[in-house]
Structure 1
Amino acid sequence: MQKKRILFLGETYRADAITWMNGLKEFGDFEIVTWELQTRSSGISRIKRLIELSKSFLTIRNTAKKFNVDMVIAERTTSYGFLAALSGIKPIAIAQQGISDLWPENSLLFPFKKILQNYAFKKSDLIHAWGPVMVTHMQSSGVNMNKVMVLPKGVNLDFFEFQNNNDESIIKAIVTRSLLPEYKHDIILKAFAILKNQNIPFELTIVGDGILLEKLKKLSTELNIEDIVIFTERIHNNELPKLLQNSNIYISMPTTEGVSASLFEAMACGCFPIVTDLPGNRSWITQKENGVLVESENTKKLAKEIIWAFNNPEIRQKVVFENRKFVEENANYAINMKKIANKYHELIKQKSS
């Protein structure tokens, strides 16, 4: 029997996208065809991206016809999700990546994005909410909740294996978010400069690449911590588990968050999480029970909580074991992606019947 073929619309280099596609191949026996926009979604490029967006639906339709796809899936409801809806391909599954995908809220394009999103919501056959925090926005947007699947993709627990880092003599912190303004790496660097001034031993590993790389390297030099901050730049995904396993504290300080796969990866590998106090993170982290929540853009508070975690190794030890169990029960890629793949086969079957 010929494999079913899915057209994936989204940035294929992103770890979330790779997880999604690989899970569908492994647990649904799907073939994946990919297509993505070529213009960045930042600064002045946003206007160019909109122009590219407006010209893309015919290309997508032709791609679908060329490869005889059985279904289209898309990440981010305001861009690729809209293109999927406009393409006329059925069935359509779209994923809301953030709490609303309507970001930044002060953008002049906000009303326009909302129109695009509502169209995508209406035309889709399945809408992914990777976590419960996303559901509120869908309800307020009048989405037919029978179309919504609330389930994270999960993480590969054979890949992200648990390893308890027992070295309590030093903070081995890791950050795995893209080097973009919204992830506030500058706040993290400044917090660790406070730790250095207090003679608290640490190593900080910043994983990944992004437009702020050189600026952040310069900042680490200005803060006199460049000798204890490692910028790995872009790495192969196979290298990430080892870096997480060699760390004891995971830090993530974005200003907005839906569901972070990187948080699940860190919890799976045995890192104690310190993350921004946002609705998306509150779905998974309870303050001082299985991690620490820190208000956004508060350097001094972040430094204080890192020190608290360092000074309470017995709490961290208890938390990392409980967090691994939590991920196994709620974010197991092998279980969750099988459910998602089965749902796609069901949708395709309904279309052809």
Structure 2
Amino acid sequence: MKICYLANAASVHTQRWARHFADRGCHVSIVSFQPGEIGGVEVFTLPPVFSRPRVDVVLNLGRIRRLVRRIAPDILHAHYVTSYGLAGAISGWRPFIATAWGDDVLVAPEESLLYRLMVRWALSRADLVTSMAEHMTAFMNRRHYSVPDKIVTLPFGVDTQQFCPSCRTRRHGELPARVISTRHLEDEYDVQTLIRAIPTVVDRCPGTQFVVVGDGGLRPFLENLAVDLGVRQYTEFLGKVPHEHVSHLLGRADVFVTTSTSDGNNISLNEAMACGAFPVATDIPANRAWIEHRKNGLLFSCRDSEQLADAIIEALWRPDWRQDVMDQNWEIVCTRASWSHSMVEMERHYFRLLQEERI
């Protein structure tokens, strides 16, 4: 089977998809505006003209269409609706699958009627639409972005061989306590709320260490904010870390914090749960799908650093609870967020669409 992905080749999620199906014996190609080297996968990189992906897509539509026709895939699968999904729809290639990641249907189309019409048109051209979470699927149905029976909820999931309880190298309760964030350092992930919570936490839980994994345009601002708040000595900014190393960092963490104000499926949260880090998350649909407040984690209001500080302190003061929650969260991940289960389901849809195309 020949699969062509229209997707960001630099994204770890795109790379996971491509490697998986290449390992399954498929011929996999990626057309991307970002470079990426993936063993066994052919990557076609289109040089960006502007820093806005949607503009680059429009300017490169002819080239993308010619590339797709040259590759002649059995399946064309676009990831991220407002850029690559639009390109896939305009290419006219079938079967065509569009996967929504989150902001591309939950946030960007809400900015203007034009975006909403563009998303509706692109998804109407797809033979199958996949979303990462039930709340996304429900939202797309309410917006009439596609026919309901064409939308499938398919979480990207966690590699439970890599992210699992065996990653833990310390028990909850060991000191100094460690709090970790693995979100990108961009505005929508709101990591500054975590930085602003640190003074209160270290005042109540002296010596607590904070590990910030990830990079982005706000990194200099966040590092300066930590200095201004007098907590730079408690905060380690690691930058971008290879995905295969993230599990080791989570396995050494007591508390995982996600401050994102919007998400599709919070894969970072699932990874932390699998590795036994106690989750403290924003009270948004993507997180409520996995966390029941005060049962297997804690929720706090978006952009509220005081609530976040209180939640972290409560979690740190209750090491036995954190230890007990580990088994429950591992079972949730294995049951509902397994990467291997999701990929089996996706492969089933690939073959179904191929069969329907041949009839």
TM over 0.5: yes
Structure 1 distance, partners of 2:13, 2:287, is 17
Change (3 A) 1:55 1:352: farther
| Correspondence for 1:241 | 247
Q: Is 1:70 the equivalent of 2:74?
A: yes
| Correspondence for 1:298 | 304
Q: 2:30 corresponds to which letter in structure 1?
A: T
Structure 2 distance, partners of 1:15, 1:290, is 27
| Correspondence for 1:91 | 95
Are the counterparts in 1 of residues 172 and 323 from structure 2 also a CA contact under 8 Å? Answer: no
Structure 1 distance, partners of 2:158, 2:79, is 18
Structure 2 distance, partners of 1:198, 1:312, is 13
| Correspondence for 1:14 | 11
1:274-293 matched pairs, under 5 angstroms: 274-293=280-299
How far is the alpha carbon of 1:17 from its aligned partner? 2.0
Q: 2:118 pairs with 108, 116, 119, which one?
A: 116
| Correspondence for 1:153 | 156
Q: 2:19 corresponds to which letter in structure 1?
A: N
Q: Is 1:54 the equivalent of 2:51?
A: no
Change (3 A) 1:289 1:78: same
Greater RCO (Cα-Cα under 8 Å, separation 6 or more) = 1
How far is the alpha carbon of 1:31 from its aligned partner? 2.3
How far is the alpha carbon of 1:127 from its aligned partner? 0.8
How far is the alpha carbon of 1:105 from its aligned partner? 6.8
Are the counterparts in 2 of residues 182 and 254 from structure 1 also a CA contact under 8 Å? Answer: yes
SS where residue 21 of structure 2 aligns? helix
How far is the alpha carbon of 1:50 from its aligned partner? 3.5
Q: Is 1:268 the equivalent of 2:274?
A: yes
Are the counterparts in 1 of residues 18 and 28 from structure 2 also a CA contact under 8 Å? Answer: yes
How far is the alpha carbon of 1:179 from its aligned partner? 0.8
Structure 1 distance, partners of 2:325, 2:212, is 23
Are the counterparts in 2 of residues 100 and 134 from structure 1 also a CA contact under 8 Å? Answer: no
Structure 2 distance, partners of 1:319, 1:203, is 22
Q: 2:27 corresponds to which letter in structure 1?
A: E
Q: Is 1:232 the equivalent of 2:238?
A: yes
Structure 2 distance, partners of 1:161, 1:215, is 33
How far is the alpha carbon of 1:51 from its aligned partner? 2.9
Q: Is 1:166 the equivalent of 2:171?
A: yes
| Correspondence for 2:33 | 37
How far is the alpha carbon of 1:309 from its aligned partner? 0.5
How far is the alpha carbon of 1:199 from its aligned partner? 4.7
Structure 2 distance, partners of 1:200, 1:85, is 55
How far is the alpha carbon of 1:299 from its aligned partner? 0.5
Structure 1 distance, partners of 2:106, 2:294, is 31
Q: Is 1:138 the equivalent of 2:140?
A: yes
Q: 1:149 corresponds to which letter in structure 2?
A: V
How far is the alpha carbon of 1:56 from its aligned partner? 2.2
| Correspondence for 2:2 | 5
Are the counterparts in 2 of residues 102 and 113 from structure 1 also a CA contact under 8 Å? Answer: no
What is the root-mean-square deviation of aligned Cα atoms in Å? Answer: 1.9
Q: Deviations over 1:129-185 (max 9, x none)?
A: 211111211211222121111121211111112144314133211111111011111
Are the counterparts in 2 of residues 125 and 147 from structure 1 also a CA contact under 8 Å? Answer: yes
Q: 1:98 corresponds to which letter in structure 2?
A: G
Are the counterparts in 2 of residues 91 and 347 from structure 1 also a CA contact under 8 Å? Answer: yes
Count of residues paired in the alignment: 341
SS where residue 101 of structure 1 aligns? helix
Are the counterparts in 1 of residues 8 and 34 from structure 2 also a CA contact under 8 Å? Answer: no
Q: Show structure 2 runs of 5+ residues with no match.
A: 36-49
Task: Percent identity, please.
Answer: 25
Structure 1 distance, partners of 2:138, 2:120, is 15
Q: Show structure 1 runs of 5+ residues with no match.
A: 40-44
Structure 1 distance, partners of 2:32, 2:271, is 25
